[in-house]
């Protein structure tokens, strides 16, 4: 089905791995500690963003003066405690398994590199992907195309020859801005 592409790029959270509940649980715990509020709908709207950008929006919404990077780091500490025990692969991993060894593949995620690498390794699928580009590997984040463009560059594939698998509006905007085709996995 994707044989005409020269490279496949996958978002991770909510696309390859059912890790969104763990992320929400970690945010809920950290926000409760700081007596901050942020709705599920507001969180969903920011899917695909790095943690510190989500923290910025939370702090703005609560008129709070905490450091967004520190708040995101606290969330990552909570996430680290629950992620490996609660996350599971989603059916789309079958596409990656099918194309393993046939096409170069990358993961382009809003998570941090160490966390993404650990999670994919823990789930036994890290070896499927030639490239892993995470939020701390780029300066500009989704919806900016830099994550996906860097994936293509490191795979050695022209952007126009790539397809991106995404579950978030920011990621789809990034794929379009990169000149790549995309599959909205929410519609599968």
CA distance 40 to 26: 13
Q: How far is CA 103 from the centre of its chain?
A: 21
CB 129 within 8 A of CB 107: yes
The pair phi, psi for residue 115, each rounded to 5°, is: -65, -45
Q: How many helices and strands (H and E) does the chain possess? A: 8, 5
Q: What is the DSSP letter of 142?
A: T
Whole-number Å distance between alpha carbons of 29 and 140: 28
b/e for 52-69, b at 16 or more Cβ within 10 A? bbbbbbbbeeeeeeeebe
Active-site pick, 11, 13, 76, 137: 11
CA distance 122 to 119: 5
How do the residues of the chain divide into helix, strand and coil, expressed in percent and rounded to 5?
55, 10, 35
11 is annotated as an active-site residue: yes
* Residues annotated as part of the active site: 11
């Amino acid at each position: 089905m994707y044989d005409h592409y020269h490279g496949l790029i996958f978002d991770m959270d909510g696309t390859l791995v059912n890790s969104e509940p763990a992320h929400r649980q970690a945010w809920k715990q950290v926000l409760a500690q700081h007596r901050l509020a942020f709705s599920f709908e507001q969180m969903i709207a920011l899917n695909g963003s790095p943690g510190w950008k989500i923290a910025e929006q939370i702090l703005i919404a609560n008129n709070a003066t905490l450091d967004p990077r520190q708040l995101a780091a606290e969330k990552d500490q909570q996430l680290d405690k629950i992620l490996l025990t609660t996350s599971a692969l989603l059916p789309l991993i079958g596409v990656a398994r099918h194309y393993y060894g046939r096409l170069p593949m990358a993961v382009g995620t809003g998570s941090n590199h160490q966390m993404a690498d650990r999670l994919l390794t823990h789930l036994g699928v890290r070896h499927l992907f030639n490239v892993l580009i995470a939020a701390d590997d780029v300066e500009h984040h989704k919806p900016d195309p830099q994550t996906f463009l860097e994936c293509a560059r490191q795979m050695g594939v022209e952007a126009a020859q790539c397809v991106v698998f995404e579950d978030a509006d920011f990621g789809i905007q990034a794929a379009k801005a990169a000149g790549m085709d995309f599959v909205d996995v929410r519609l599968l």
